[in-house]
Amino acid sequence: MVPAQAGVQDPATDVGGAGPVSGRRPGDRADWPPLPKRPARERPRQPVSPLARLLGLGRRPEGRGRVLPARTRWALRAVAVLVPLALWAVVSSLGVVDPTFLPSPAAVAQAFAEMAASGQLLSDAAASLGRVSAGFALAVAISVPLGMAMGTSQVALALLEPVIGMLRYLPASAFIPLLIIWLGLGEPSKIAILVIGVVFFNTLMTADAVRAVPAELRKAAATLGATGGEVLRKVVWPYALPGMLDAMRVNAAAAWNFVVVAELIAAESGLGYRIVRAQRFLQTDRIFAVLVVIGVIGLAIDVGLRLARARMGRWAA
């Protein structure tokens, strides 16, 4: 047995040399006293403003922002519609503006009822809706593949971006004389105006949505063995789809603007054609009725695209 050196304590004995201490040394964590228990500090909450208290705003689960109750949302939407309508009724009733130029809401409602009863409004709305559907669908069918190519390929971006960036600044209405010469006065020229007015903007907005896909997601998918086509289908397309639908919502409104412009010239049906007919006889009440119909149809399309985005892009904020 080797004797312990002088001044070196045997690890098998405690500080006082009284005997073994089951292998512990002074200063081991087992010898430390327990930490004192402190009360948990609550996260400071922002004070609730009187407006938020009035609207019944609640806090989000993650603590960011506030949740607007459904009842409050519908109330605000009703206010957004009823207040301008009330102001319109007040101005028309006071006679500030000649009724020939600003008819009352009651006169517009009566004109709407007359046009609906005669069947004109329904047939014109169907004609305009058919043109918008055909032109917008064709523009989307062209712009989405081009935008996907521009967003994923530097070669396609270099080839297409200068041309599309220049063409999008050309007003679609400037092509009307050429389209009439090339395609005649029928439906093809009207649909072509819609395509020209929508396709370039939708292409660039689709390309921006595709370029917004994080490169880390593509690299991670490729690292896991995904091919280029699989990365495009399973990573790029799902991530960019909500942005594409947002672009379609914006450009659907532009499509309605262009269909009215197209129907102002050489048309025999449609809501734009009905506006021109009413303008010839100073029937402003009918013009307002047609504008209300266009707004309602546009709102329905926007809500439909918004619901499609919420359903197909639940992961998007």
Task: Say which range, 3-17, 100-114, 158-172, 289-303, has the weakest mean pLDDT.
Answer: 3-17
Can you tell me the mean pLDDT for 67-79?
A: 85
Task: Say which range, 19-28, 48-57, 146-155, 167-176, has the weakest mean pLDDT.
Answer: 19-28
d(C-alpha 105, C-alpha 93), whole Å: 10
Each residue's pLDDT tens digit, 42-52 = 655 555 566 55
Can you tell me the mean pLDDT for 103-111?
A: 95
pLDDT band for position 90 (cuts 50, 70, 90): very high
Residue written as tokens 């009725």? 289
Give yes or no for residue 26 having a pLDDT over 60: no
Each residue's pLDDT tens digit, 230-280 = 999 999 999 999 999 999 999 999 999 898 888 877 788 999 999 989 999
For 66, the 3-state DSSP assignment is strand
Single out the residue of 275, 305, 269 nearest to residue 292, CA to CA.
Answer: 275
Give yes or no for residue 193 having a pLDDT over 50: yes
Q: Are strands 58-59 and 66-67 parallel, antiparallel or unpaired?
A: antiparallel
Task: Say which range, 99-108, 130-139, 266-275, has the weakest mean pLDDT.
Answer: 266-275
Single out the residue of 241, 128, 259 nearest to residue 192, CA to CA.
Answer: 259
d(C-alpha 198, C-alpha 150), whole Å: 17
137-147: b or e for each residue (b if 16 or more CB lie within 10 Å)? ebbbebbbebb
Task: Report percent pLDDT > 90 for the chain.
Answer: 59
How many other C-beta atoms lie within 10 A of the C-beta of residue 158? 10
Can you tell me the mean pLDDT for 204-228?
A: 93
Q: Say if 87 falls within a structural domain.
A: no
Q: What pTM value is reported for the model? A: 0.76
Give yes or no for residue 8 having a pLDDT over 50: no
Listed in sequence order, the residues at least 6 apart from 316 whose beta carbon sits closer than 8 Å to its beta carbon are 242, 243, 309
DSSP bridge partners of 59: 66
Q: Say if 53 falls within a structural domain.
A: no
CATH of the domain at 189: 1.10.3720.10
121-135: b or e for each residue (b if 16 or more CB lie within 10 Å)? beebbebbbebbebb
pLDDT band for position 126 (cuts 50, 70, 90): very high
Cα 206 from chain centroid?
Answer: 12
On whether the CB atoms of residues 291 and 218 are closer than 8 A, the answer is no
Q: What is the pLDDT of residue 18?
A: 47
Q: What is the pLDDT of residue 24?
A: 55
Task: Report percent pLDDT > 70 for the chain.
Answer: 79
Q: Residue 264 sits in which domain range?
A: 95-312
Q: Say if 86 falls within a structural domain.
A: no
Can you tell me the mean pLDDT for 81-103?
A: 91
Share the mean pLDDT of the chain: 84
d(C-alpha 55, C-alpha 72), whole Å: 6
Q: Say if 182 falls within a structural domain.
A: yes
**Regarding predicted confidence, which is higher, 20 or 305?**
305
Length of the chain: 317
What are the counts of helices (DSSP H) followed by strands (DSSP E) for the chain?
12, 2
On whether the CB atoms of residues 242 and 210 are closer than 8 A, the answer is no
Q: What is the pLDDT of residue 191?
A: 93
Q: Say if 12 falls within a structural domain.
A: no
Q: Say if 152 falls within a structural domain.
A: yes
CA angle 260, 264, 265 (to 5 degrees): 130
Is the Cα dihedral 228, 233, 239, 245 positive or negative?
A: positive
Q: Say if 82 falls within a structural domain.
A: no
User: What is the count of structural domains for the chain?
Assistant: 1
What would the two tokens of residue 84 be? 């301008």
Q: Say if 137 falls within a structural domain.
A: yes
